Structure 1
Amino acid sequence: MRQGLHVALQVGAIISASLAIAVAPARAEERAASSVTFSGGYSLDVAGVVSGGLAKRSRVLDDLQLGADVDLEKAVGWKSARAHVLFLNNSGAMPNDDAGTLQGVDNIEVARQRARLFEAWVEQSFGDKGSVLVGLYDLNSEFYANDSAGLLLAPAFGIGSELAATGPNGPSIFPSTALSVRGRWTPNENVYVQAAVINADAGVLGDPGGVCTRFEHGLLAIAEAGWQGRGKVAFGAWRYTKKQADIRDLTSAGYPVSRTAQGAYVLLERQLIGDSENAMRKTTAFARLGLSDGDTTAFKGGWQAGLLVEHIFKSRPDSAFSIGVNQAFLTSKFRANAFDEGQHLTRAESAIEVTYSDKIGSVTIQPDLQYVRNPGADSGVGHALIATVRFGVAF
């Protein structure tokens, strides 16, 4: 309790110091004004199961984000350093309660509706080739990420479920991050290597217990190396330092066997059409594959693939279309546990998503359709068709 409070006060002090730059007196005022960049956005989703699933009804949920980026060299003379804070507020219902899927259908759905400090970190650069970041950090902002999958709403396109479902309460991803140290090295403009060690127990200000500093569940270690150019090829691997309970196997004393939770993934991305950023119908394809140990999580692996087409119409520069397919494979142990309880689960849950996004004035409108085959990998549940409309504004 005291440790959590101590860290909460430290994080609060860092944030207060960063934001205080904007209102510092005398000569610091002009310097602070040019060193702080504020940003924000609001998304509101109206989602409903049209057919199949567990229930047919509409749900409304939203996501508010408020952030600030500080150039610490301009602000306080800290050379080649920057700070970042991001606050979230999520409210509304949970459409996956009606769809009944294992992977989810909306990437702003949360189990606890509340305000949170999502990110608070400082990054120190070393020339133009390396950097080290320390603080509350979103793992998926740099690891296991394809930009061309970003328009799709299904959570599986954000980070593979075989990693997203690990740890005592999930890894350091939306909506709760964890204390982290991340290093990145870019020997040239195309090649990068990055690695991070992250508290296995995620928690931020706004969560019960706040920021976790005890590290009693160990660390999540992850590394990724890749090449970026007209496309992207990357390989990653992750492992928890502290063994976790096997989801089925027991010792002779009746306790879960301790296993090492680990996995790996590969990312592929390729620009097919369009040579410039604003090219008509710029088309990018992506594919990803991830695997896990299969002992400590319900998912032994999965894959995702899709296309993003930008600037579809000449008169609509913000128009974009995306289609994606994904499949998550269940471990034999998870299926055996379900069988013991009278459920007969299939080997996988599969889905396809089609979405279109455009801007009218300052408002982005994005209709979206998802078709999930065997929601929850339960053949007794009808294939689910989920319709969503997302309204968004950036400020």
Structure 2
Amino acid sequence: MRLRTTLAALALLALPAAPRAEETPPACESGTALAPGLCLAGTLTGDAMANVSGGIRRGAAAVGQLRLDLTADLGTLAGLDGWRMAASAFAIYGRQPTATRVGSLAPVSNIEALSTVRLFEFWAERSLGEWGSLRFGQLAADAEFAAASGAANLVNGTFGWPVALAGALPSGGPAYPLATPGIRLALGDPEGATGLRLGVFSGDPGGAYGEGTDPQRHNRYGTLFSTRGGAFYLAEAVTGGEAPEGEDAPRPWVLKLGGWYHTGGFDSVRFDDAGLSLADPASSGTPRRFGNNYGGYAVAEATLWRGEEGWVSVFGRAFAQPGDRNAVDLQLDGGLAWRGPFGRGGDTLSLGVSWARIGARSRDFDRDLIAFGTTRPVRSHETVVELNYDAVVIEDRLSLRPLAQLLFNPAAGEPDERRDRTRALPDAVVLGMRAVLTF
């Protein structure tokens, strides 16, 4: 009820703008114009991944995703100046390589998900002029928050919505493939200059799913519009230099500082409600309950070199959160993007490295299990390294992206009973190819 009241109150701020002089309808940034002010864009992405060493088992898996985006300028279509709407949907099909082949915390493909047809985002936005904008509806936080533009071409999912947040939040949080009702207020110009993003989202995009149930199956078509699980708040301050006008190039430098707070209930990773270890046979088996969860993060980017046919940029991110209620308490990642390597202006070479650490309380729980007779390793950390090359085949239409990923200590040392429940998964080597067709 609190979340619904907040959404309703903030939506009342979006008052109609004063009429403006008649203007030429804006052209579509991508896709096809169905009518003046109405644009449809599509992207077909296919990933073929082969685990050639380590992980759960060797072998290949393929997954495909069709994404459709519909955007509407309501000023052109209906005379509502300053308003626009957008909707996006996915058709996903294939075998998820992480769950079936690798077993890592970080998904080796950022498009892998349950095979289905799913509504994703569906929102309206009111421009507030120089003040910013207000967006409300079904939203995904990973569309704007905690993102590094230099990581855009990396295929491993942790370089987008990080393992730290996905593991801490119910159903993985409001991020691909699950969006959720929410509202986002942007003040200033966080996209191109200096500003602030504030967001409040429904706490659990999976809704009231049972224990052991996949939230993606519970909210299979993206139409549940869950308002359960408390509320998830995000705030992000952004500053940086202005990008060169008329160029498809990153900003000279960007700094983002963010924080989040979740009002839902979260279980202790080690202790029960009486203070005993959950590994103790005398334990009640009911974890101690915390009334909230929270964390902070920072993102930094810089352009090191800019030439006539390309540029080189680097990025770094850090995420921290309490280890008493989250398995991962610290994640660091970084990398670089080189546009125009080897004289090919449209190609991009990308490198990324991510390190996610298991918190002290979770490691102590593993030691408790060992002390009470369970043979297993103690979890520590997971490291991901990815190198890929995005080659343009048909400009603005088709690209191919061969890639290699090294996953050290997959699942941070958590054993997989399909292989050996007493030993950590071996380091994995994944080779793959991504094809992207836009229309």
Quickly name the TM-score band, shorter chain normalised.
Answer: 0.7 to 0.9
Q: Does 1:343 align with 2:376?
A: yes
Equivalent in the alignment of 1:366: 401
| Partner AA of 1:287 in structure 2 | G
Cα distance in 1, alignment partners of residues 79 and 118 from structure 2: 30
1:32 Cα offset (Å) = 7.4
Cα distance in 2, alignment partners of residues 81 and 313 from structure 1: 43
1:203 Cα offset (Å) = 4.5
Q: Does 1:196 align with 2:199?
A: yes
2:363 match: secondary structure: helix
Q: Does 1:222 align with 2:228?
A: no
Describe how 1:35-114 pairs up with structure 2 within 5 A: 35-96=37-98, 97-110=100-113, 112-114=114-116
What is the TM-score of this pair, normalised by structure 2? 0.78
What is the TM-score of this pair, normalised by structure 1? 0.86
Cα distance in 2, alignment partners of residues 187 and 267 from structure 1: 17
Asked if the contact 1:88/1:118 (under 8 Å) is kept, the reply is: yes
Equivalent in the alignment of 1:137: 139
Asked if the contact 2:60/2:101 (under 8 Å) is kept, the reply is: no
Q: Which sits farther off after the overlay, 193-202 or 238-247?
A: 238-247
Describe how 1:97-246 pairs up with structure 2 within 5 A: 97-110=100-113, 112-186=114-188, 190-203=193-206, 208-209=218-219, 211-212=223-224, 215-229=227-241, 230-246=252-268
Equivalent in the alignment of 1:325: 353
Give the paired residue count: 360
1:211 Cα offset (Å) = 4.0
Equivalent in the alignment of 2:426: 382
| Partner AA of 1:387 in structure 2 | L
User: CA 1:107/1:59 → structure 2, altered by over 3 Å: closer, same or farther?
Assistant: same
Match of 2:287 among 250, 256, 276: 256
| Partner AA of 1:265 in structure 2 | Y
| Partner AA of 1:373 in structure 2 | F
Cα distance in 2, alignment partners of residues 32 and 105 from structure 1: 36
1:140 match: secondary structure: helix
Deviations 1:161-212 (A, max 9, x none): 11122232121100010001110101695211011000011159x9635544
Equivalent in the alignment of 2:213: none
Structure 2: where are the runs of 5+ without partners?
Answer: 1-32, 208-215, 242-251, 275-283, 414-422
Asked if the contact 1:32/1:74 (under 8 Å) is kept, the reply is: no
1:214 Cα offset (Å) = 5.9
2:172 match: secondary structure: coil
Q: Does 1:306 align with 2:328?
A: no
Cα distance in 2, alignment partners of residues 345 and 281 from structure 1: 45
1:213 Cα offset (Å) = 5.2
Equivalent in the alignment of 2:389: 356
Cα distance in 2, alignment partners of residues 98 and 213 from structure 1: 32
2:85 match: secondary structure: strand
User: CA 1:101/1:199 → structure 2, altered by over 3 Å: closer, same or farther?
Assistant: same
2:164 match: secondary structure: helix
Deviations 1:333-372 (A, max 9, x none): 3334445253213421112111001111232100000111
1:54 Cα offset (Å) = 1.8
Cα distance in 2, alignment partners of residues 214 and 149 from structure 1: 30
Q: Counting strand residues as a fraction of each chain, which structure ranks higher?
A: 1
User: CA 1:203/1:254 → structure 2, altered by over 3 Å: closer, same or farther?
Assistant: closer
Structure 1: where are the runs of 5+ without partners?
Answer: 1-30
Equivalent in the alignment of 2:306: 274
1:169 match: secondary structure: helix
Cα distance in 2, alignment partners of residues 180 and 215 from structure 1: 9
1:281 Cα offset (Å) = 3.6
Cα distance in 2, alignment partners of residues 236 and 305 from structure 1: 17
Cα distance in 2, alignment partners of residues 201 and 385 from structure 1: 33
1:228 Cα offset (Å) = 2.4
Asked if the contact 2:49/2:62 (under 8 Å) is kept, the reply is: yes
Q: Tell me how large the CA RMSD over aligned residues is.
A: 2.1
Asked if the contact 2:45/2:434 (under 8 Å) is kept, the reply is: yes
